[in-house]
Amino acid sequence: MQDLLFTNEPWTALDCLVERIGPSGVFVVVDDNTRRCVLPLMQQRSRCVADATVISIPPGEEHKTVSTVEEVWAELQSGGATRHSLIVNLGGGLVTDLGGFAAACFKRGMRFVNIPTSLLGAVDAAVGGKTGVNFGGLKNEIGVFREADAVVISTCFFSTLPTGELQSGYAEMLKHGLLKSREATARLLDLQLDASVDPEALLALLRESVEVKRDIVAQDPTEKGIRKALNLGHTAGHAFEALAMKRAEHLPHGHAVASGLIVALVLSHMKEGMDSSLIHSLAAFVDRHYIKPRITCDDYPALIDMMKHDKKNRHAGDLCFTLLRGPGEPLIDRFVSEEDIRAAIDIMRDLLHI
């Protein structure tokens, strides 16, 4: 299993790791944002980053492409990388997904370490072995399952993030809390989630959250069964996200997932008898902290159509959800009817005042 290091001195952890691995060269992949906001501090405090070759990629989903990966490969090649060299991915989910894929394929695989610089990256993309890029208009269509050799997780970079990004990552933590227990969920709902958030308190919650994901992934690395539990909130969430994207409305991934979690909980109550108290406390938290999807009843057919085409469905056309019998008790591959979904979105809109 990969090394997972939780620390607010990531520079020290990285230098120790690199000394242990003993690579024949170190290449740091950043995007223009992390090159500006994070790299200088790392270069100042980490010997191996100071000595490394820096490969910078353009930020934004539109650059998460095979052609950007080819640019990384070309720079590895011209920098003399061998299969014994090491890539350090320093950035958000885009950098770790794309840099991980580049590493997994260069000379049929070199080692890589992820240092996620966003909460979403830390909690979601940096752990679990999913690497990849977009292709032909579809997200993460091309990639491989390949775990980073190590992930160094810190909260010290999150202050460089734009507003709303912290909330976005926190939605995935709420999901992990729901997959773990009622108590874990309660601890998350208790945090003061704003710019004044305590980095050490957040690091402790983050550790608990990442470990939930790691344990699920370890049981099912290639997503044939229980790993689908991690899709909780995402079938509806992706639909909200896609609709907003189509209309050029601002609805970051985690914010869409936060509303998607409410839909999943309402369906869990309706179909699986989950008790409803949690729905109300989660909805109050989401209502307070999150951007909400701007939808009306007229959008239901489009949303349902998108849910039918979720990548994780075995057969396109099914409406298939991850639900909960209760906190910590996920149920995968639950089929629901269009009527159920309409009702659940209605209730979500009531709870979130949409």
Binding site for its own copies (CB under 8 A): 24, 66, 70, 73-74, 77, 82, 84, 104-109, 130-132, 135-136, 138, 140-146, 222, 311, 314-316
Contacts of 255 (CB under 8 A, 6+ apart): 164, 167, 168, 171, 290, 291, 292
Closest approach of its own copies to the CB of residue 135, in Å: 6
Which one, 9 or 71, has the nearer CB to its own copies?
71
Q: Which of residues 147 and 165 has its CB atom nearest to its own copies in the complex? A: 147
**Terminal alpha carbon distance of the chain:** 43
**Among residues 84 and 207, whose Cβ is nearest to its own copies?**
84
Q: Tell me the one-letter amino acid at 13.
A: A
Q: Using the minimum distance from each CB to its own copies, give the nearer residue, 24 or 277.
A: 24
Whichever of 224 and 353 has its CB closer to its own copies, that residue is 224
Q: Which amino acid is at 58?
A: P
Q: Closest separation between CB of residue 119 and its own copies, Å?
A: 24
CB of 157 to its own copies, least distance (A): 27
Angle, CA 285 vertex, CA 151 and CA 278 arms, to 5°: 95
φ/ψ (deg, to 5) at 182: -60, -40
Shortest Cβ 123–its own copies spacing (Å): 20
CB of 108 to its own copies, least distance (A): 5
Least separation in angstroms between CB 66 and its own copies: 6
CB of 131 to its own copies, least distance (A): 8
**Contact 282/265 with Cβ under 8 angstroms?**
yes
Nearer to its own copies (CB atom), residue 97 or residue 165:
97
Q: Nearer Cβ to its own copies, position 155 or 322? A: 322
Task: For residue 330, list its beta bridge partners.
Answer: 324
Determine phi and psi for 154, rounding to 5 degrees: -135, 155
Distances (CA, A) of 107 to 20, 69, 83, 84, 99: 22, 14, 6, 10, 14
Dist. CA 117–CA 91, nearest whole Å? 5
Cα separation values, 10 from 46, 200, 254, Å: 9, 14, 25
